[in-house]
Structure 1
Amino acid sequence: MKPKDVDEVEEFMARAERKERRLEDAVRERGMVLSEHPESKTRRVLTALVKAGGGRG
């Protein structure tokens, strides 16, 4: 995800948190479990997928 030109730090962080929640919800809806460890393989994969998808969502 990239900040928009008009984003303030708080706005960007809020957008990023919403996007992360949506991704986590989508994963859970598919019956998968995310690790709570911030450097887990699952989170690295999700981050890579978001970057590869151009941050859409």
Structure 2
Amino acid sequence: MTEHAKRIEDIKKEIRSLLLSAPVGLTLPELEKDYFLFIGEALPSKELGYKNTEEFL
């Protein structure tokens, strides 16, 4: 597995954890905010080659 693929898998796991902890779900802005609060950085969608978070998801 490449470093890029591993990073994407790690981010997916973090997102999955955030979504599972929100019983009523999260809007995209809520997900981005929670990711920043709990992980300490913004979702790196553009760094991974996507236009935005929605395209990454």
Q: Normalising by structure 1, report the TM-score.
A: 0.45
Q: Larger relative CO (CA 8 A, sep 6+): 1 or 2?
A: 1
- Quick check: which has more Rg, 1 or 2? 1
Q: Normalising by structure 2, report the TM-score.
A: 0.45
